[in-house]
Chains A and B, each alone.
Chain A
Amino acid sequence: MTDSNVHGQHPEPEGPGAPHRVIGTPSPAESRSMLAPAPEEEHPPARELPPAPDDEHANNAAKLVAACFILAMLAGLGFIACYFIFNDHSLSAVTRDNLALGTTMALAFLLLGAGATIWVRHVMPKVEIAEDRHPLRSSDEARAEFAETFKEGADASGFVKRPLIRRSLIAATVPVALAPIVLLRDLGPLPYKSLDSTVWRKGMRLIVYGTNRPITPAEFNTPGSMITIAPEGFQNDFDAMAKAAVIIIKMAPGQLQPPTRMNWTVNDIVAYSKICTHVGCPAALYEQTTHHILCPCHQSTFDATRGAKVLFGPATRPLPQLPITTNAQGYLVAQSDFREPVGPSFWERS
């Protein structure tokens, strides 16, 4: 029963009482207490282990362990102290507090870890035990018994014998299982045609995003400049802006070429959707010298002089051009909504 042993330890002589027993050594008797006998499967391993640390070594190591733990305690106290000492709120204070709290917390944990490691490696004896494995499969008898029990139950329930019950149960389960999925229907509205259009309408003024003011061609007359535009009245409507955001670019005369729609521009000012046709990031980077519009997310590049056609990257379609003109007061306005859906491709888009 007790073929177990612990390597590298010196089991104390067996005595009548459990009290001085070292963990893992054979138990003296079938005891009623918690100190139960070892299971049968443990063996000393084949590998030679270093001897247990001698007393002096262990004593020195124990002091080191205690030192680590005491320092960890001090670090923990330091954390609490820092928490209460630093109590003013400002950007610089936050940085300092974070450093103080983080350092003391890290120290406390690292010292606890160091102490425990030294404890295991230099105070505790080296122990290695081996235990036999048994195949995980049940014995043939157990399997047969299980099969029999299972079959008995199946027979008794009539699940196999009575297809009426079985089939009606399955029939009942299907709609009940579908119900929770149906419940998810109201998570959101159906898209219908909402992705095909934006809030831009005929005569709607172009508003400079940020200053919220309309703009005239005369105010926007430096070739090479680019600004972000919102449809008037929707500057703060995120849902609308997520599709309707526009950039306008002022070109030098003669730079705009087909397939740019010239009758959709005003004084060499061209308006493109800001929403990248790849996955919808704002295509916000404009390079003056090359007239490239670059989306910073996945680097789709569009040629602003040629109808924002794709020059590079994963986008398949040019940024849609917004038809613009000027109104009676001279402000830039939309001629209409975009003539095609803006933003990323989707299934229903034709």
Chain B
Amino acid sequence: MSVEKGLEGVGTWLDDRFTGAKGVRYLLRKIFPDHWSFLLGEIALYSFIILLLTGTFLTFFFQPSMTDVVYHGTYHNLDGVHMSEAYASTLNISFDVRGGLLMRQIHHWAADLFVAAILAHMLRVFFTGAYRKPREVNWLIGITLFTLALLEGLFGYSLPDDLLSGAGLRITEGVLQSIPVVGTYLAFFLFGGPYPGHVIIPRLYILHVLLIPGLLLALITAHLFIMTFQKHTQMPGKGRTNANVVGAPAYPYFAAKTGAFFFFTFGAVALASAFAQINPIWLYGPNNPVGISAGSQPDFYMGFLEGALRMMPAWQWVVFGHTFAFNVFIPALVPLGLIMTGAALWPFIEQWVTGDRREHHLNDRPRNAPTRTAIGMTTVAFYGVLWIEGANDVIADHFDIPLYTTTWIARFAIFLVPWATYVITKRICLGLQRMDLRTLDHGVETGIIRQLPTGEFVEVTEPPSDEERVVLEARPDYPALPAGGESAEGVPAPGMRGAVGRLRERAYKVVTESVPLEDAHANGHGDGHAIEGNGHGNGHGDGHGDGHAPAAVPSGGTEGEHPGSEGSPGQGEEH
């Protein structure tokens, strides 16, 4: 067989020099657990590769120069118009370089997909708890990658020097200027003087094609290396434990799958670029500090900043001859800062609260960590309100709502919607947990109705399969808190004293809140016909406040607080 010949030839030649047999075999057998959500990070990776390829092509033709030229090219509508070389060369790429428009559109679509995929991937990692020890560093690298991707995108769409990107740069300048103490200096250093100057495009260009991609590449490499070294997380399932990793080996199965996925990603982006026009810069005209078009929208990932700027009330202080432009620097810096800092700190906050410093390789189902899921959804809602407000003029136009009304709604919604989202998400998670418990206790409904000899009708249920049972029973087990102030010994454990200890105790209750699993089984009223909506009464409103025995209540300290868990036991019939 030719495989053997190849191995004996090339393989031996390489192995004689690089000792690769063992290490490469290890990589070939690297196990990739399977779950649809694990593909999100791959989309981001492949978008990045597409960006590198198409971006390199674009640099062959793009002129990052603000030198004034008069256009005489294919696009006659702008014939004789003064513009920068950057804009003229972008027109040239679009109209005179064959395939140039396609490459530009693929580059832009892939950039949008890149950021979207990073967002989705981050949400997946957050909601499944995949950031937990030992993966905190990769989580932080991911946050850095996301921030860099936003910057890279902002700089990238500023390069063509069209009217729309000029407005984006103007806003960037205004935001920089608003920063207390150093603002004007930052703006003057970035633009080489007042806006627009003559250096901003070449400066953004080198940041966009060298510095930031270099950082992205280095961090992505580190991200993947750490992932390979620490092995993947996996979703709960039969035979999957915290101490193993189960899935298809890289070679040939995962390699073929992920190769297919790369092709799909590239294909989808190419399809979008063939049929859906993106950033038609020739319609906007060259940049000009006096011009603007109504309804200018940035790329989607900058929309939340635009929304924040729009909804902020006009607050400003002048103190001792200095201006605090709260109306600009708060919306520009605070929302992003809150989200990024919060995301970066969360793994460590969670560790501190729960005292859980073990390795976690088995992911949580989002419902099984209700507080974490609720916090994640709150962040999504916060971001979402900002993002929607970023398009409030379009919304006002389409839905015929007065423009200022949309802003007023957003000013309240930015507080109310995240709060409501927190409450609702937590309720939904706890409800889903109860549904899981019901399935465990009463089995899966089959849709078959049986008449009993007494004339009663019951629905036949089947016990859940082993696989389902394992999935449903997979719950995070938090270590018990060190004994608190009211503990039997009477002496609070270290780390549990004073206000900080009380804070941690309260936070522990919130973070570990769950519908207890063990008690449900202890009651064990496994009948086959649960009545819809009766919850499943476990009747444990007792034994609270006498300290949590770790063995008995590993899944949280909130018994008796849920309406659904206080019902009377045994709502169904005994078999």
Our verdict on whether A and B bind, yes or no, reads yes
Taking Cβ atoms with an 8 Å cutoff, the residues of A that contact B are 18-19, 23-24, 33-36, 38-39, 42-43, 45-47, 83, 86-87, 89-91, 94, 97-99, 101-103, 105-110, 112-117, 119-120, 124, 127-133, 135-136, 184, 187-191, 194-195, 209, 228, 230, 236, 238-239, 241-243, 245, 274, 278-282, 284-285, 296-301, 310, 312-317, 343-350
Residues of B in contact with A, size category: 35 or more
Binds A, one of B249-257, B514-522, B554-562: B249-257
Q: Which of B313-339 contact A (CB under 8 A)?
A: 313-316, 318, 321-323, 325, 327-328, 331
A345 touches B29 (CB 8 A): no
Given A99-B275, A314-B313: A94 touches B101 (CB 8 Å cut-off): yes
B21 touches A228 (CB 8 A): no
Residue B385 is within 8 A (CB to CB) of chain A in the complex: no
B249 touches A129 (CB 8 A): yes
Q: Is the interface of B mostly helix, strand, loop or mixed?
A: helix
Determine the chain B residues whose CB is within 8 A of the CB of A343 once the complex forms. 174
Given A133-B361, A280-B170: A345 touches B74 (CB 8 Å cut-off): no
Complex A-B: 25 CB contacts under 8 Å = A47-B246, A47-B467, A90-B74, A97-B98, A97-B99, A97-B102, A103-B275, A106-B268, A107-B267, A110-B268, A124-B252, A124-B256, A130-B246, A132-B243, A133-B242, A279-B171, A296-B293, A299-B392, A299-B407, A313-B310, A345-B316, A345-B327, A346-B187, A347-B179, A349-B323
B314 touches A346 (CB 8 A): no
B246 touches A45 (CB 8 A): yes
A110 touches B264 (CB 8 A): yes
Residue B239 is within 8 A (CB to CB) of chain A in the complex: yes
- Among residues of B, the one whose C-beta sits closest to the C-beta of A310 is B314
- Among residues of B, the one whose C-beta sits closest to the C-beta of A87 is B98
Determine the chain B residues whose CB is within 8 A of the CB of A24 once the complex forms. 29, 249
- Among residues of B, the one whose C-beta sits closest to the C-beta of A102 is B274
Determine the chain A residues whose CB is within 8 A of the CB of B248 once the complex forms. 127-129
B408 CB, nearest partner CB in chain A, Å: 9
Partner of B239, one of A47, A116, A117, A188: A47
B274 touches A279 (CB 8 A): no
- Roughly how many angstroms separate A132 CA and B243 CA in the complex, as a whole number? 6
Taking Cβ atoms with an 8 Å cutoff, the residues of B that contact A are 1, 4, 7-8, 11-12, 15, 21-22, 25-26, 29, 31, 74-76, 82, 94-96, 98-99, 101-102, 105, 134, 167, 170-171, 173-175, 177-185, 187-197, 230-231, 237-239, 242-249, 251-253, 256-257, 259-264, 266-268, 270-271, 273-275, 288-296, 306, 309-316, 318, 321-323, 325, 327-328, 331, 359, 361, 392-393, 403-404, 407, 467
Determine the chain A residues whose CB is within 8 A of the CB of B184 once the complex forms. 191, 195, 346-348
B85 CB, nearest partner CB in chain A, Å: 14
Given A124-B256, A129-B31: A239 touches B194 (CB 8 Å cut-off): yes
Given A130-B239, A135-B359: A39 touches B29 (CB 8 Å cut-off): yes
